[in-house]
Each structure stands twice: as structure tokens, then as C-alpha cells.
Amino acid sequence: MFTSSRRRSAGARTLTTSLALAASVALAAAPLASAQSTVSPDGTLAVGSLGTPIPASGSLGSLAQPAYADYVALGDSYAAFGDQSLLAEGPAAQACARSLTNYPNRLDMNPAVGALTDATCGAAVTADITRAQYQNVPAQIDALGTTSDLVTLSIGGNDVGFGKIVQCITKQGDYKTTPNCETAIGAGVAADIAETFGADGPIDDVYDAIEQKSPNAKVVTTQYMPLMPAEGGSCAFTQQLNPADVAWAREVGEAINDAVDSAAQRNGHISVLPVDDVDRSACAAPEDRWTDFLGGLPTMAAPFHPTKLGQQAMADAIAAAL
């Protein structure tokens, strides 16, 4: 979620909003194209030049309609959010800030995917898959049944401290005077990654719960689209940060996604992550970026979260992997 897999020097973006505001909103919230695509052995989906995004309606190719009649989406804000000016209706959807442009809804536009039950929720941790997260927000696992045949999952980022990492690199809260985030919290974050995604840990419990409720479902886990540009790239936002913290954030993002993929494979599933040969990080031009640092206009994304375009890319990655 913190590092881009491609390199490009993005144009500077005027920063009229403070880091404090961006970080505080992010913490509250956390709480495509018809191009050739291939899936690498580690589950990463390489997407060719994406251009203008289109619905994922044709990307399941030759699969018979409907190949997946009962689709359930589970996960955190990286699955729930998108254009936050377009939220789903209902108490649970509003409490979870589910966007109508998130990747579950984009994937559901595919004619090979049937009815969608979107149980994703901002700020979810692994325990929220099997327990009620808020009032009127039941355990996400309750959305599954014996007929569920497709499940997507995005979880674990909040368990390893996404909000804490954002606070540290933007020098907010308890980390206002922290000179180096890797020195201050790096060991703890690494331990949290190992504990969350390690064998017999919380992630394995989630996969076991899915297996018990929907033993015949195809499960696709989504990795976290990066915020930071690849090494050598920068923009006005990252230039205000400690370069050492930016480099560490890249490493953390890669470590989290490696752990996501390892846990998925260990449990007999796959994970996907869209990548491109141009910069799609939060430093990219607004019309190109898959994630956003500040959020709001023009992408209407939540700060430090995927954009509508990024969610479309993830939907296409899932479709191509099925």
C-alpha cells in the first residue's frame, strides 16, 4: 500500500491542505481498460497501458454467464472505498462508508458475476470478519452462505498499523517529533506483519471461517495498491516528508503485500495486484492515479486510499485472474 512498482517522476501538486488534516481524515477513514494482462507466479497482475477505464464487463472472457452467481465481498477500506461522494444506501453501508465505485461494485458489472453482497467496511481488522464491527454492522462472515461461489478479501492492513504508519511518516499525533519511523516503529510493524499473516495467525482464521461457511467458493485476495511512487519518483507531498521515511514506507508496502500473497497461497488461494508501466501511485496526475494522498477533489477518494480508477483496475485484475 505504500510503494509503487513502477518509476516515474510526477509533476508537483500544490499542497494547500496540511499534512495534519490529511492524516487525521485518513485515520478516521481507516477507519479498465481493454489491455493485455498476465498473472505472474506470485499472483501480481501485470496490466498493459490502461488508458481510459471501462467497466470490467468483458474481462472474464470466455467464462459462461453467470460463472459466479453469488458474489460476496469482504474486507477493509481498501475494498470498501472509492469515490466517496457516491456512497451506497443503508445503515451498514453508511457506517462503513462503502462507495458505489469500489472494486466489488465494479466487478459486479461483469455479466459473468451475479448478485453482489458487499460486506466490506472501513477500518475493519481481521477480527471484524467474524464479529460485529459497529451497531447495525454484522460480522462480515454472516454474508456468506453455502451458495456463495465467489469471495474477494482485503484485510490485514489495519492489523499491522496502517494508521500508525501514516501518522509517523506525516509527523502527527504521538509521532510529531519522531526523526526516523523505521527506527521508532519498524520492528513493531514487522512483528505485526509476521503475527497477522503468519501460519495459524488471524489471517488463517479468516480463511478457515470462509471455508466453513462457503466450502465451494473461489476466493481471491487483493493486495494493497501503493501510495508511494517507485524509487526515484516524487511529488509535492512526498517532498515534504523525510526521505528515509518514504523509503521505509515503500519497504513496508512491499512486505505487507508479500505477506498477503504468502498467506493466500498457503491457504490454497490467489492474490492479485494491478501494476502498470506508468506511474499509478498517489504522486501521479489525478487522471492517472490509483491511490490518493489528500483525497477530495478531483478524485473524491478518501485520503491515503484508492481512487475510483484504482478500484476499476483492481476489479479488472480480479476478473483476469478468475
pLDDT digits (tens, 9 = 90+) for 53-75: 334 444 554 455 689 999 999 99
| Domain range for 153 | 19-321
Count CB neighbours of 94 within 10 A: 13
Structurally, how many domains does the chain consist of? 1
| Cβ–Cβ under 8 Å, residues 241 and 170 | yes
From the list 304, 318, 230, the residue with the least C-alpha distance to 272 is 318
Kindly state whether residue 1 falls inside one of the protein's structural domains.
no
| Cβ–Cβ under 8 Å, residues 277 and 35 | no
Report the chain's mean pLDDT, rounded to a whole number.
85
Kindly state whether residue 12 falls inside one of the protein's structural domains.
no
Share of residues in the chain with pLDDT > 70 (%): 80
Residue type, 243: P
What one-character DSSP code corresponds to residue 77? H
Indicate which residues carry an active-site annotation: 77, 305
Kindly state whether residue 150 falls inside one of the protein's structural domains.
yes
Report the SS3 class of residue 308. Answer: helix
Which CATH number do you get for residue 287?
3.40.50.1110
Q: How many CA atoms lie within 13 A of 131 on its CB side?
A: 8
Kindly state whether residue 167 falls inside one of the protein's structural domains.
yes
Kindly state whether residue 216 falls inside one of the protein's structural domains.
yes
Q: Between residues 60 and 178, which one has the greater pLDDT?
A: 178
Quickly state the pLDDT bin for 136 (edges 50, 70, 90).
Answer: confident
C-alpha cell at 294: 489528500
pLDDT digits (tens, 9 = 90+) for 14-33: 333 334 434 434 434 444 22
Which pTM does this prediction carry?
A: 0.84
Kindly state whether residue 2 falls inside one of the protein's structural domains.
no
Which residues in 204-235 are b (16+ Cβ under 10 Å) and which e? Answer: bebbebbbebbeebbbbbbbbbbbbbbeebbb
Q: What is the arithmetic mean of pLDDT over 177-196?
A: 98
From the list 91, 83, 195, 191, the residue with the least C-alpha distance to 133 is 91
Kind and range of the H or E run holding 275: strand 274-275
Kindly state whether residue 252 falls inside one of the protein's structural domains.
yes
Kindly state whether residue 8 falls inside one of the protein's structural domains.
no
Q: What is the CA radius of gyration of the chain?
A: 18
Count, residues in the chain: 322
